[in-house]
Amino acid sequence: MHYYIKADQFLLENDMKKDAYVLVKDGKFGAFCTELPSSAVVYDFGDSIIAPGLFDTHIHGVAGFDVMDGTTEAMRAISESLLSLGVTRFLPTTLTSDSHALKTAIFAIKEAVASGLPGAQSAGIFLEGPYFTEKHKGAQNADYFRDPSVEEFFNWQELAGGQIVKIALAPERKNANHFIDTVTKSGVSVGIAHTSATYDECQHAIGSGANMFIHLFNGMSGLHHREPGAVGAAMTHPNVFSELICDGHHVHPDVAKLVYQIKQNKVVLITDCMRAGMMPDGEYYLGDFLTKIKDGIARTDSGSLAGSTLQLKDGVHNFYQWSGMPLHKIWHLASLSPAESIGQASDYGSIAPGKVADYVVLHQDLTIKATAIAGEIKYQV
């Protein structure tokens, strides 16, 4: 496949480009140009905006399906549903559960990927747990919390065919730093989450290789002027990434702005979306827990937030409005920063020569007009 894209604007990593053409060849982006060969095939999107495909590195489910359903049907449904939301790559995300459920989910992801996903493509598996602690458990099942085990992890990795690219844990657990050091050396990114860890414990985890904080502020020890906690560690370590759920409920808009002022492109916009995403209010399961959705907000019986129903495009739009920053800067927090956080930025996350041609066609109001994966338009209004 060999064609050129024409549009009013292109969102680039450090700028916005107007009135130009970009080459798409063999599923990858080529160079920009202003003049075309006479035989060129052109996809002219008029006054639209072309942006890199969104990359959701923390998503449990959507449209009534969940990764923990443990079926290829669920994976295919999630993949297809994400196209209309502008998501082109995602990390199917597990929850803390019993060993059988985790293995079933991992195997189903591997099988679904092997058979070919119809929409957004999996870029690897994110294991959210089970190495957490109880105080900040959120909607994770504490019955299955335990200390990190290198042997257990590599058994999962073997079952996954090497597809696990990210895992979250509480660094105060026994053997955590040895675990972090070992798995990061194998190429897996480690995040800090659902933790009561002190600032010093987080520092040691970062020194061992942990490179991100999962849904910052939620499920972790907070910032105090005499004990900075996990939040303080995230804010004071310039090279670690911080996930933010920008639905206006998980983090106050002004706090999200503050995080951006400090962290800049180390902010990773995510959804933490569960099966109730794109669905009406009601009752839905998140792992082992029944949650109630009211006004789009997911809560457990205790009142705790339980994932979200956020769509990543809406998180981008919210943060764009809150921050007052240029669109290209905010958009890349949901495309390039996620890719960088798991070491995949050489392939995904921005419109640049040699990268996979995942892109979204946006109306001027930022609603989705079309979504393309590796140069092929998979969704169009």
The reply to whether 346 falls in a domain is no
Query: pLDDT tens, 39-76?
Result: 899 999 999 999 999 999 999 999 999 999 999 999 99
Query: pLDDT tens, 79-135?
Result: 999 999 999 999 999 999 999 999 999 999 999 999 999 999 999 999 999 999 999
Q: Which of 253, 255, 202, 261 is nearest to 232 (CA)?
A: 202
Please tell me the total count of domains within the chain: 2
Based on the domain organization, do 18 and 6 belong to the same domain?
yes
User: Which residues in the chain come in under a pLDDT of 70?
Assistant: none
Q: How far apart are the first and last CA of the chain?
A: 22
Residue with tokens 């907070």: 222
The reply to whether 143 falls in a domain is yes
Catalytic residues: 272
- Paired sense of beta strands 61-62 and 368-373, if any: unpaired
Based on the domain organization, do 120 and 39 belong to the same domain?
no
Based on the domain organization, do 369 and 244 belong to the same domain?
no
Based on the domain organization, do 95 and 172 belong to the same domain?
yes
Q: Which helix (H) or strand (E) holds 212?
A: strand 212-213
Based on the domain organization, do 280 and 372 belong to the same domain?
no
Q: What angle do CA 339, 261, 85 make, to 5 degrees?
A: 40
| CATH code for the domain of 211 | 3.20.20.140
